[in-house]
Amino acid sequence: MKKRFFAFCLMTLMLLILNGCSDNRITGTYVESFTCGYLSYDQRPMPYALYLISNEEELEYAEKYIGMTIPENGKESFSGHKEISESFQKIKIEYPIKDYYYLFCYSEYREGDHYHHADAVLLDENKLKFHFDKEKKPAGDSVAQVMGGDFDIAAIPKDFFEGKTITNVISPMQHASYDIDSIIYSDPLFIQIIEGHEIPEKVIYGMGGEGGYEEYTSSDTGVINGFIEALRSISIKSIITDPEQISYTADGIKDFTFVLEDGRKVIFNLDTFSRIHINEVVYELNNTLELVEMCQQIQDQDIQGNHSMDDKDEKIFILERPDTNLEFWITENVDNVDFSKYQERYGLMGGTEYYGSGYVPSIDEEGNQLDPEACVLYTVTSYPDYSSQTRHITSIYITDPSINVYGLTVNSTKDEVKSVIESNGFTYQDHGGTNGVLYVKDKVSFFFMEKLYIHIRVEVENENQLVF
């Protein structure tokens, strides 16, 4: 019996070795991870950007432009420049670029604590990430000015990358000149647009929340350039990395899309013009007034994307009700429903929001409603257009883990959501923002934020430009 068990263990180990990974760890990889302090010099890696160097040209660029060469005068050693460049140069010698790719990342946090330590590199589907064997929250208020940092670097065997497409890394040659680039670093096309190397032919501004969704489109060169200049003006006010201080906004999301002539798109979003969520990090922003003004300008032009007048007679899209314990379903007509027994959630314009049966908000000292920790919120508006005379459920927001939709709950995994939701005719859509996943079927979107919420909503048109 012992011999059989030993043989089984040996076979399992050999299979892991042959596959090149153990629990998704990339074998043959050398990793260094250390506290480097806050990097204050100009030629430094973008915070939280995951760089991958794969050739001599990128290697030379990293040394010349983002601080991977040991400073000659030594004056910058206080900022961590010397420690990072020495580590990089050592790896370059011991693990030559002809045989290895170099992966590295600089992250920031408050002074006084070591935020993490990496001991391996993982492959998660088509994305690379460092595995942390030690993690510790920064002391004090992480919203305050950033004063510390960690540096992770790895040499990965070149052979590992054969036949693989890695989607979450950037080349050092995509290094950015503006703060906004350092936030949306995972999309090289965005950086090329902001840096002026790619010219969009169209810009789309979308806004909404629980009451519906509106889009405004412009192909005017002046408007497009105005949006780019406004984004260039944005600066980072503070960076929040503590999960306990990160909040997610259900309302007030502002979506932006640049569309190129060949159909390529860049999509990203902000929370009420003041925050961006990227990779479990929240960036609080300054200098967003120009962006606010451009959004007003594109609205004033009265150009709407995806709201053609030719669609007036289009048949109302109704999504078939799935297996769910929800009281109402998205797109369901509720003209004959008596909502007097439901608690209204105040404050929504353009529609009415109700708590599901049994959910009661608490009231704070100022008389404001506070949502229960677990609840369901239904939004009722006109549909398919805000000028329509029929009332439908146009948004369902779920935080209660006892609620299931298509057999899924807020406690499901992203893999479970992908399998189930795609089998029901939804298509994955890149939303360029938070850590959640977005799926779309016709006019209905299904947004899943693991352990937090499920948000289902249907697009409501506003052809008559009603103002609420």
Contact 327, 403 (CB under 8 A): no
Which of the four pLDDT bands, split at 50, 70 and 90, describes residue 312?
A: very low
Per residue in 417-427, pLDDT (tens digit) is: 999 999 999 99
Residue with the larger pLDDT of the pair 291 and 274: 291
Cβ-in-10-Å burial (0-12, 13-18, 19+) of 248 comes to: middle
- H or E element, residue 63: helix 56-65
Query: What is the biggest distance separating any 2 CA atoms in the chain, rounded to whole angstroms?
Result: 78
Q: Domain total for the chain?
A: 3
Are residues 260 and 334 both part of a single domain? no
For residue 12, being part of any structural domain is answered with no
Assess whether pLDDT exceeds 50 at residue 313.
no
- Sheet strand arrangement including 281-286: 212-218, 202-209, 253-259, 265-271, 275-278, 281-286, 235-240
Supply the pTM of this predicted model. 0.42
Task: Map tokens 């929340």 to a residue.
Answer: 209
> Percentage of the chain with pLDDT > 90?
34
Assess whether pLDDT exceeds 70 at residue 341.
yes
Are residues 185 and 127 both part of a single domain? no
Name residue 396's amino acid.
I
**Domain-ending residue, one of 175, 191, 213:** 175
Which of the four pLDDT bands, split at 50, 70 and 90, describes residue 38?
A: confident
Assess whether pLDDT exceeds 60 at residue 17.
no
| pLDDT at residue 42 in the model | 55
Query: Cα separation of 276 and 435, whole Å?
Result: 11
For residue 344, being part of any structural domain is answered with yes
Are residues 111 and 249 both part of a single domain? no
Provide mean pLDDT across the span 388-404: 93
Provide mean pLDDT across the span 165-191: 71
Are residues 255 and 199 both part of a single domain? yes
Which stretch of 4-8, 31-35, 376-380 has the lowest confidence by average pLDDT?
Answer: 4-8
Provide mean pLDDT across the span 170-174: 79
**Residue 155 DSSP label:** E
- Write the DSSP assignment of 274-298 as a string of letters: TEEEETTEEEEEE--HHHHHHHHHH
228, two tokens: 């780019």
Query: Cα separation of 52 and 255, whole Å?
Result: 29
Spell out where 260-404 has E strands.
265-271, 275-278, 281-286, 344-345, 352-355, 362-363, 369-370, 376-382, 391-398
Which of the four pLDDT bands, split at 50, 70 and 90, describes residue 25?
A: very high
- Sheet strand arrangement including 116-124: 21-22, 25-26, 116-124, 127-135
Query: Cα separation of 464 and 374, whole Å?
Result: 37
Are residues 170 and 184 both part of a single domain? no
The CA–CA distances, whole Å, from 143 to 68, 239, 240, 275, 279 equal 29, 6, 5, 12, 17
For residue 96, being part of any structural domain is answered with yes
Provide mean pLDDT across the span 291-295: 87
Assess whether pLDDT exceeds 80 at residue 12.
no
Are residues 320 and 243 both part of a single domain? no
Query: Cα separation of 231 and 205, whole Å?
Result: 13
**Domain-ending residue, one of 280, 300, 320:** 300
Return mean pLDDT, the chain: 79
Are residues 264 and 330 both part of a single domain? no
Name residue 177's amino acid.
S
**Domain-ending residue, one of 273, 300, 327:** 300
Are residues 393 and 435 both part of a single domain? yes
For residue 10, being part of any structural domain is answered with no
For residue 295, being part of any structural domain is answered with yes
The CA–CA distances, whole Å, from 194 to 189, 279, 288, 347 equal 9, 20, 15, 36
Instruction: Kindly give the pairing relationship between strand 100-109 and strand 202-209.
Output: unpaired
| pLDDT at residue 79 in the model | 46
Q: 417: phi > 0 → left, psi -120 to 50 → alpha, else beta; which?
A: alpha
| pLDDT at residue 305 in the model | 42
Query: Cα separation of 457 and 211, whole Å?
Result: 9
For residue 358, being part of any structural domain is answered with yes
| pLDDT at residue 208 in the model | 63
Assess whether pLDDT exceeds 90 at residue 270.
no
Are residues 245 and 295 both part of a single domain? yes
For residue 437, being part of any structural domain is answered with yes
Which stretch of 96-100, 142-146, 224-228 has the lowest confidence by average pLDDT?
Answer: 142-146
Per residue in 188-213, pLDDT (tens digit) is: 677 778 877 778 999 988 876 444 56
Query: Cα separation of 279 and 287, whole Å?
Result: 22
Assess whether pLDDT exceeds 60 at residue 307.
no
For residue 390, being part of any structural domain is answered with yes
Query: Cα separation of 175 and 51, whole Å?
Result: 9
> Percentage of the chain with pLDDT > 70?
75
145, two tokens: 């000015």
Assess whether pLDDT exceeds 60 at residue 5.
no
> Torsion angle of alpha carbons 149, 42, 169, 112, nearest 10°?
0
- Write the DSSP assignment of 404-435 as a string of letters: -BTTB-TTS-HHHHHHHHHHTT-EEE--SSSS
Tell me the three state secondary structure of residue 247.
Answer: coil
| pLDDT at residue 308 in the model | 40
Contact 248, 449 (CB under 8 A): yes
Are residues 370 and 229 both part of a single domain? no
Nearest to 398 by CA among 425, 421, 377, 370: 377
Per residue in 59-109, pLDDT (tens digit) is: 988 888 787 887 665 544 444 578 888 999 999 999 999 999 999 988 876
| pLDDT at residue 283 in the model | 75
| pLDDT at residue 144 in the model | 41
Are residues 142 and 248 both part of a single domain? no
Range of the domain at 188: 180-300
Are residues 204 and 108 both part of a single domain? no
Name residue 18's amino acid.
L
Provide mean pLDDT across the span 219-234: 89
| pLDDT at residue 241 in the model | 67
Which of the four pLDDT bands, split at 50, 70 and 90, describes residue 181?
A: low
Name residue 180's amino acid.
I
Which of the four pLDDT bands, split at 50, 70 and 90, describes residue 56?
A: very high
Query: Cα separation of 165 and 113, whole Å?
Result: 35
